[in-house]
A and B are shown apart, each in its own frame.
Chain A
Amino acid sequence: MANLETSLAGIRSPNPFWLASAPPTNSGYQVQRAFEAGWGGAVWKTLGDPILNVSSRFAATSFNGQAVAGFNNIELITDRPLEVNLREIEETKIKYPNHAIIASLMVEPNQEKWHEIVKMVEAVGVDGLELNFGCPHGMAERGMGAASGQVPELVKQQTAWVKEVAQTPVIVKLTPNITDITFTAKAAVEGGADAVSMINTINSLAGVDLDSWNTVPNVAGKGAHGGYCGPAVKPIALNMVAECARRPDINVPISGMGGVSSWKEAAEFMLMGASNVQVCTAAMHHGFRIVEDMIDGLNNYLDEKQIGSVAELVGKTVPKYSDWGELDLNYRVVAQIDTETCINCNKCHIACEDTSHQCIDMLKDEQGNDFLQVREDDCVGCNLCSIVCPVDGAIEMVEAPRKTGEEPMTWNERQSLVSMMGVK
């Protein structure tokens, strides 16, 4: 039984699974149900000045019959009175002292406003604060959320204001709707953030109804962009976490989120530098009970790997992540097809033939049976065939011998050699 306890900038929780600030953490009732189900922490739905919500708020994309491949919402921050939320936070914290409760906050870029709300939430006993500089819709039009999160100066300034009064750790939640997230992450660190969390949702429109030609979702026939999350965004989020994790000047812990649907994604985010993970869409799709397998699966994974504590995973893959210019140009992998396992669907052939490097042949053996074979000399090791293959183990990408005389060399090394020779 591995130790799943985590600490993010001093905020402790029994496991690395927090509910992200979102509809699942809208009320004390919900957060308490979540803690009963096993969630380690919850970031309360964002508190701020009163807002109004619209009806018809969520939409999702499905892919090949799989519902909720991605999820889109136009809901704003909490629409409940602040005092009600504060009372419920206090009650919940008393009932569940060992679980982490973080208050997500969003107010106008104004020092007094920030000071005021920080003091109020800390007074009811929260374990930490998360500054919502990420919401891409609605609030951004009023200069909050992503609108301030896209301006590094505003991120730095507001973080600094919060830090002037905060007694608990301050997490700055970043928007992905920006060219390079390390700019705003850096600004948060400069403002004194104790941690950063990412990613908030990505600007999105889920779809268009092909009969009414209305957007999906729509409010009385009119739509507006929302924020995208769920399994589809994981690779984007994972890269952003990794980019921050590998920067020595972004030297604060990361709370990773965006498409965490099971213990596997959680482990990936942690290997890529996250100290814990936050989850929303998976819970909205299946209910709080999914945390049971997240905990159980992660624990079994750690036991199998003989790792005593989940904290040991954090950042292990970060040194393996770099720039393209640092990749070895002379390294080769090639596809190999196990004809015993192959079921001859020929998807690898047509994918390679039409869209890659034309090196998988459809052949017949002496008995007239079909089989597929890779011409390894022509294979560039792109992985496409193994990606489209529906059967595990039928296609393996194996390391191929280096060509004679070819030593490991990166693009950057090559360029510096070329320039040295030029100097000669």
Chain B
Amino acid sequence: MATNQSEAWISVEDIKANFTEAHPALKQKDAVDEANRCLYCYDAPCITACPTDIDIPAFIKKIASGNMKGSAVTIMDANPSGASCARVCPTEELCEGACVLNHASTPIMIGDLQRYATDWAIKNEQVLFKKGEDTKQHIAIVGSGPAGLSAARELARFGHRVTIYEASAEAGGLNTYGIVSFRLPKEIPAWEVKQVKDLGVEIKTNTIVGKDISAAELTEQYHAVIIAAGMGKVPTLGIDGEELEGVRDAIEFVKMTKSGKWEENLSGKKVAVIGAGNTAVDAATCSVRLGAENVKMVYRRTEKEMTAYAFEYEFAKQDGIEFKWLSAPAKIEGNSSGEVTGLLVNKMKLEAAGEDGRQKVKAIEGATETLDVDLVIKAIGQERLNPLIEAFEVTHSDGVIQIDETTYATSKTGVYAIGDIIFGKGQGEAMVVSAAQQGKKAAWAIHSELTENAVHSA
């Protein structure tokens, strides 16, 4: 990777190269050898560990036997975001972590094999699924991220008509805009979107529910509505200087890198990323790849409490990111032309653990430090979409929609919610793969509800 830690300038070509997929695909021999190494366990723990219950030994056996289409169907049937998940799933915490070979040699590279099979389907332009016979039931879905797409795919296979309302210019949600290109190139979720569109699902992009169409119109016009709108922008830090020009929202920042326009050349810039979650790592590694001279992650707790996955943290370290632990941002300093010139942080110390088992942190009085930076990227979580949720009149807890964990039905009849919008307060999961599973389950619940109604009214 070309970076700018020693040079004064990074070219657009280098930036482009920096944003191509970092993890190499398995070569054919690698894939077949690895597939043959799989024990083909019975009642395999990797299946149980997969939130979407992919029959992993089956898809791997199919790679070994040369049945590539069957392999891709096995994956995508269980997980409509199977190609994306092959790249973004924390596999060592899921399937690969459960592989019995952890106890005997090394676990099977399930994620890489899943990528191999789905890459084959993408490259060979395979049609994997068919839409069901038209039921004339129409379902609206708000949001085309992995949760919404998964629900749409399943509903369309049942024969229901589906319209997705997507606020952004392109469908795919987080997979399209929120996960850095060098981990998940945009073509991958684009293929998953196309698979869903090919089943007759209509996706209205650039359409904001609450502005272009109201929540009430949706609930009136459709037989069911699924809210899968995710989360909002990064919240404000509540410190001075946040309005300066060089202060950015990590979500928007990553989205910009996925636009492929590369107008943001960070040559010679010094960047501070505030936060230590996966998005913070994404913002930091993107900054390095855009040519920044120095990138620091600033976190008020320690390495131990950081919420980024271990492999993300490792990735950040390999990219040469610096870490400022126990440093709470106190003020963003700027000059008269409104540019960021520094970040004032307050040093923190660890105290006894609170009720949640996490050690508390406390500011050390008078211990401050000014970091010399010209760009501050906020990555301290995302705002909840309270106005949208309230427009649907569904019960929520601080912006987390409350749902029935089997059907994903909200408090309002005919309205369901899945994905990040239900994540939090001990409910749901933040992973793409969980969103996909929720989409399937909500679709099954809606289908069963609509089928029952049809039987009753007949």
Contacts and interface: CB of A to CB of B under 8 A. Distances in A.
B202 to A, nearest CB: 40
B104 interface: yes
A343 B101 contact: yes
A337 to B, nearest CB: 14
Interface in A39-73: 64-66
Interface stretch (B40-48, B300-308, B331-339, B433-441): B40-48
Given A65-B32, A65-B33, A65-B64, A343 B42 contact: no
B39 interface: yes
B64 A390 contact: no
A343 B103 contact: yes
Contacts of B40: 347
B39 A344 contact: no
A391 B36 CA distance: 16
Nearest to A346: B42
Interface in A87-146: none
B36 A65 contact: yes
A344 to B, nearest CB: 6
Nearest to A353: B42
A349 B42 contact: yes
B45 A390 contact: no
Nearest to A345: B41
B31 to A, nearest CB: 10
A345 B39 contact: yes
A32 B202 CA distance: 75
A350 interface: yes
A66 B64 CA distance: 11
Contact of A343 (B32, B64, B104): B104
A339 B45 CA distance: 16
Contacts of A346: 41-44
Interface residues of B, number: 16
A391 B45 CA distance: 17
Interface string B31-61: 0110110011111110000000000000000
- Name the prevailing secondary structure of the B interface residues: helix
Contacts of A349: 42-43
A362 interface: yes
B190 interface: no
A324 to B, nearest CB: 32
Contacts of B100: 343-345
Nearest to A66: B36
Given A64-B64, A65-B64, A391-B104, A347 B39 contact: yes
A388 to B, nearest CB: 9
A100 to B, nearest CB: 39
A410 B21 CA distance: 68
A390 B38 CA distance: 10
A390 B104 CA distance: 9
Nearest to B100: A343
A364 to B, nearest CB: 12
A346 B46 CA distance: 13
A343 B99 CA distance: 9
Contacts of B44: 345-346
B43 A347 contact: no
Contact of B42 (A64, A66, A345, A390): A345
A345 B44 CA distance: 7
Contacts of B45: 344
Contact of A347 (B32, B41, B101, B104): B41
A59 to B, nearest CB: 18
A64 to B, nearest CB: 5
Contacts of A64: 36, 64
A362 B45 CA distance: 13
A347 B44 CA distance: 10
Given A344-B45, A345-B100, A390 B33 contact: no
A20 B189 CA distance: 58
B33 A362 contact: no
Contacts of A344: 41, 45, 100
A344 B42 CA distance: 9
Nearest to B34: A65
A390 B41 CA distance: 10
Contacts of A350: 42-43
A346 B47 CA distance: 13
A347 B33 CA distance: 20
A362 to B, nearest CB: 7
Contact of A362 (B35, B43, B64, B104): B43
Interface string B94-107: 00000011011000
Which residue among A64, A66, A343, A350 has the maximum number of chain B CB atoms within 10 Å of its CB? A343
Contacts of B103: 343
A346 B57 CA distance: 13
A341 to B, nearest CB: 9
Nearest to A362: B43
B218 to A, nearest CB: 44
A390 B44 CA distance: 14
B42 A347 contact: yes
Interface string A200-227: 0000000000000000000000000000
A362 B39 CA distance: 17
B376 to A, nearest CB: 48
19 contacts: A64-B64, A65-B36, A65-B64, A343-B100, A343-B101, A343-B103, A344-B45, A345-B42, A345-B44, A345-B100, A346-B44, A347-B40, A347-B41, A349-B42, A349-B43, A350-B42, A362-B43, A390-B39, A391-B104
Q: 3 tightest A-B contacts by CB? A: A350-B42, A65-B36, A346-B42
Interface of A: 64-66, 343-347, 349-350, 362, 390-391
Interface of B: 32-33, 35-36, 39-45, 64, 100-101, 103-104
Given A343-B100, A345-B41, A347-B42, 5 more contacts: A65-B35, A343-B103, A344-B100, A347-B39, A347-B40
